């Protein structure tokens, strides 16, 4: 099976300290992975190529990189699944949103700093049990997915919020935070959720689902972030714009059955929030001039009482 | 072919031009829209209501699906966000019988029941799957030759692929590019086409949201785009409505017109730009229309 790997190269210590793509033509087996190809390049063609890898079994999480523009593990990505009849080139780049040390090796220090920031250990209050902590099996099942995280950084690589804001905690650290918030043995939920409710925390996720798509272990980081948001609102952390946005949206739909776009920002920010209200004025003027504003008199959907009844039933469900 | 038409909140709110343009092009494509079937349907929750209560979102969507099912017609959306939220809800509802029967209890009082038999689909997918690119081409009387169009899908129309049926319908992956080519325009490929427009965090972290608008529109522009095309009205609100603010944050002008998918098709079908309400955007489309020699 003929394949060409176009690998993004960068070596700050070489004379040529710039970024460039180098192509390698290879003959691979039907069963070969991208990692097999990279190792073959390093062993047989070009010893200067740097990459991280270890287990070759999608367990250690070392070989996350961008393959044809999307983050994934090189060791569990089959070459034959990437090839098209008219395209035999595979683009290999280092993971995104992290500084490149050399070639495909990125600096994970900020990644670990963020994981540490969420206090990733069990915080039990009260007396320690004499033996192990006993938890019913079903109470831990919802954590099985998030506990499969191998800290490979694929989600961080392709996170669209991190791309514009390195302050954001990111999907891996937030998923790890959920692993403890959702653990029945942990008693620090209130403090954890309060901290995660702040700037750079759970509300800065854009819900773009990149992390869901690229995670090689089915952790569903965004799903965990949504669960954190639900938990934060339930725990009374409802002052952030994120929480207020979700609550206002829900309230408006519960009232008329559909979104009232004029009232949503006003309700989210609060009508007496002068700074934010002033910021809305140019937007309103531009929309008005373009003839593009939503109707001032918002109509409910026909049979809205059916929607209101559903709100009552589901919101009051235990 | 006839469809139960679910326009979503934004096409009847801040983007009325999308609604008008959709009605105009559907008759050209032989798509018959039943605008009554989903009249009492609610908002999908847009992923926002789900932040507070996912089960509530699933119940509202189950109710909408039951309404579509009652009409006996396939369900059509014109919003990437509605599509994604519906697909994800449908995946949860149809993947767990116990969950679905509990949800059905909560919509039963209205005489509704959802049996998991609805497959909501975006107009874009209906065009490439039911109508076909060839039929679309046959409606084109004013090919957009020489125009460069940058596609912008909206996250919910591309991820997660498992909920969106990409395995069974691999053609969905590049559907927007194929439609752009079918109307005679050239596709401007850029990495941002499947990324976030920033709208979901507009009221939460405006700086990040504006950076996303600026990054995508400037990148498309630098690659030679005459306009950007999106099947998502929420992306449109940010990329069009907040482009002046995003440009100001970078001390520059971007001036990239953002078209709704049906507006692009309508222009190539020779429809009156006024009817398509192409002149009702924040970012001026005057230059684009004069190049097309159809200035209203």
Whether residue B196 sits in one domain with residue B223: yes
pLDDT of res. A87: 85
pTM of the full structure:
0.95
Interface residue of A170, A207, A234 to substitute, partner B, most B CBs within 10 Å: A207
pLDDT digits (tens, 9 = 90+) for B48-83: 999 999 999 999 999 999 999 999 999 999 999 999
> What residues in chain B have per-residue pLDDT under 70?
294-296
Say how far apart CA B152 and CA A3 lie, in whole Å. Answer: 30
Domain ranges of chain A: 2-106, 109-234, 241-315
Is the pLDDT at A126 greater than 70? The verdict is yes
The answer to whether residue B129 sits within a structural domain is: no
Number of CB pairs, chain A paired with chain B, less than 8 A apart? 175
pLDDT of res. A256: 96
Q: Peptide bond before B270: cis, by omega within 30 degrees of 0?
A: no
Are B170 and B158 in contact by the 8 Å Cβ rule? The answer is: no
The answer to whether residue B47 sits within a structural domain is: yes
User: What's the domain count of chain B?
Assistant: 2
Which residues does B67 contact at the CB level (< 8 Å), separation at least 6? B4, B37, B38, B40, B41, B112
- Average pLDDT of the residues in A8-27: 92
Tell me the pLDDT band of A14, cut-offs 50, 70 and 90. confident
Q: Look at residue B71 and give its three-state secondary structure.
A: helix
Q: What percent of chain A has pLDDT over 70?
A: 100
pLDDT digits (tens, 9 = 90+) for A248-277: 999 999 999 999 998 999 999 998 999 999
The answer to whether residue B75 sits within a structural domain is: yes
Interface residue of A162, A227, A250 to substitute, partner B, most B CBs within 10 Å: A250
Are A259 and A312 in contact by the 8 Å Cβ rule? The answer is: no
Say how far apart CA A236 and CA A232 lie, in whole Å. Answer: 6
Q: What homologous superfamily is domain A2-106 in, according to CATH?
A: Beta-grasp domain (3.10.20.30)
pLDDT of res. B295: 57
- Average pLDDT of the residues in A291-304: 88
Are A124 and A186 in contact by the 8 Å Cβ rule? The answer is: yes
The answer to whether residue B131 sits within a structural domain is: no
Mean of pLDDT over chain A: 94
Contact call for A302 and B39, based on CB within 8 A = yes
Contact call for A290 and B55, based on CB within 8 A = no
What is the ipTM metric for this complex? Answer: 0.93
Tell how strand A70-73 and strand A64-67 pair up: antiparallel
Say how far apart CA A173 and CA B221 lie, in whole Å. Answer: 35
The answer to whether residue B105 sits within a structural domain is: yes
Q: Look at residue B54 and give its three-state secondary structure.
A: helix
Say how far apart CA B238 and CA B212 lie, in whole Å. Answer: 9
> End of a domain among B122, B154, B176?
B122
E strands along A68-149, which residues? Answer: 70-73, 89-93, 100-102, 105-106
Which residues of chain A neighbour B198 with C-beta distances below 8 Å? Answer: 206
- Average pLDDT of the residues in A214-221: 97
Q: What domain range is B11 assigned to?
A: 2-122
pLDDT of res. A291: 83
Nearest 10 degrees: Cα torsion A267, A268, A269, A272: 20
- Average pLDDT of the residues in A73-101: 95
pLDDT of res. A318: 67
- HSE of A12, CA atoms in CB hemisphere, 13 A: 7
**Sign of torsion, CA B9 B12 B14 B15?**
positive
Say how far apart CA B266 and CA B3 lie, in whole Å. Answer: 19
Residue B212 at interface with chain A, using a CB cutoff of 8 Å:
yes
The CATH number of the domain holding residue B110 is 1.20.1050.140
- HSE of A170, CA atoms in CB hemisphere, 13 A: 27
Retrieve residue B282's tokens: 């924040």
pLDDT of res. B296: 59
pLDDT of res. B103: 98
The CATH number of the domain holding residue B240 is 3.40.50.11810
- Residues 113-172 in B contacting A (C-alpha not used; CB under 8 Å): 155-156, 159-161
At the topology level, CATH places domain A109-234 in: Fumarate Reductase Iron-sulfur Protein; Chain B, domain 2 (1.10.1060)
Could you tell me which residue, A153 or A317, shows the higher pLDDT? A153
Gap between the terminal Cα atoms of chain A? 57
Residue B102 at interface with chain A, using a CB cutoff of 8 Å:
no
Whether residue B287 sits in one domain with residue B154: yes
Which residues does A279 contact at the CB level (< 8 Å), separation at least 6? none
Tell me the pLDDT band of A241, cut-offs 50, 70 and 90. very high
């Amino acid at each position: 099976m003929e394949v060409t790997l176009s690998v993004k190269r960068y070596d700050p210590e070489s004379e040529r300290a710039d970024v460039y793509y180098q192509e390698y033509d290879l003959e691979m087996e039907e069963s070969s992975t991208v990692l097999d190809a990279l190792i073959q390049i390093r062993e047989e063609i070009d010893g200067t190529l740097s990459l991280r890898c270890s287990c070759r079994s999608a367990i250690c999480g070392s070989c996350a990189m961008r393959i044809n523009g999307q983050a994934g593990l090189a060791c569990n990505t089959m070459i034959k699944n990437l090839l098209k009849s008219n395209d035999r080139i595979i683009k290999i780049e280092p993971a995104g949103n992290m500084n490149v040390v050399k070639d495909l090796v990125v600096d994970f220090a900020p990644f670990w700093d963020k994981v540490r920031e969420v206090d990733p250990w069990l915080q039990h209050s009260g007396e320690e049990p004499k033996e192990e902590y006993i938890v019913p099996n079903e109470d831990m099942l919802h954590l099985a997915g998030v506990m499969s995280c191998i800290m490979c950084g694929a989600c961080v690589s392709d996170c669209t919020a991190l791309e514009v804001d390195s302050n954001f905690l990111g999907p891996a650290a937030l998923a790890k935070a959920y692993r403890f918030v959702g653990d029945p043995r942990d008693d620090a939920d209130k403090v954890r959720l309060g901290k995660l409710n702040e700037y750079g925390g759970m509300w800065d996720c854009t819900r773009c689902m990149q992390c869901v798509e690229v995670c090689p272990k089915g952790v569903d980081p965004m799903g965990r972030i949504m669960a954190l948001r639900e938990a934060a609102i339930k725990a009374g952390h409802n002052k952030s714009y994120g929480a207020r946005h979700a609550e206002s949206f829900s309230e408006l739909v519960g009232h008329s059955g559909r979104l009232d776009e004029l009232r949503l920002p006003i309700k989210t920010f609060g009508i007496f929030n002068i700074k934010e209200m002033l910021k809305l004025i140019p937007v309103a003027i531009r929309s008005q001039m373009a003839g593009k504003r939503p109707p001032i008199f918002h109509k409910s959907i026909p049979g809205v009482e059916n929607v209101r009844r559903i709100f009552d039933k589901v919101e009051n469900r235990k | 072919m006839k469809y139960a038409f679910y326009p979503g909140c934004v096409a009847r709110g801040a983007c009325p031009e999308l609604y008008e343009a959709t009605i105009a092009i559907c008759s050209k494509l032989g798509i018959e829209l039943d605008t009554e079937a989903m009249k009492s349907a609610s908002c999908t929750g847009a992923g926002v209501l789900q932040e507070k209560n996912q089960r509530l979102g699933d119940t509202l969507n189950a109710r909408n699906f039951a309404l579509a099912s009652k009409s006996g017609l396939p369900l059509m959306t014109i919003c990437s966000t509605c599509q994604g939220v519906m697909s994800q809800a449908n995946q949860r509802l149809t993947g767990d019988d116990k969950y679905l029967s509990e949800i059905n209890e909560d919509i039963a009082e209205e005489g509704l029941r959802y049996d998991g038999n609805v497959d909501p689909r975006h107009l874009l997918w209906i065009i490439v799957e039911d109508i076909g690119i060839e039929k679309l081409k046959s409606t084109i009387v004013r090919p957009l030759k020489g125009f460069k169009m940058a596609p912008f899908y909206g996250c919910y129309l591309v991820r997660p692929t498992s909920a969106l049926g990409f395995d069974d319908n691999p053609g969905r992956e590049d559907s927007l590019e194929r439609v752009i080519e079918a109307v005679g325009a050239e596709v401007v490929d850029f990495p941002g086409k499947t990324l976030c427009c920033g709208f979901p965090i507009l009221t939460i972290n405006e700086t990040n949201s504006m950076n996303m608008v600026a990054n995508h529109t400037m990148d498309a522009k630098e690659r030679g785009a005459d306009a950007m095309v999106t099947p998502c009205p929420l992306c449109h609100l940010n990329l069009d409505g907040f482009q002046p603010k995003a440009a100001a944050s970078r001390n520059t002008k971007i001036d990239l017109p953002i078209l709704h998918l049906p507006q692009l098709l309508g222009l190539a079908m020779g429809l009156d730009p006024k009817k398509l309400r192409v002149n009702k955007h924040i970012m001026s489309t005057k230059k684009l229309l004069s190049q097309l020699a159809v200035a209203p």
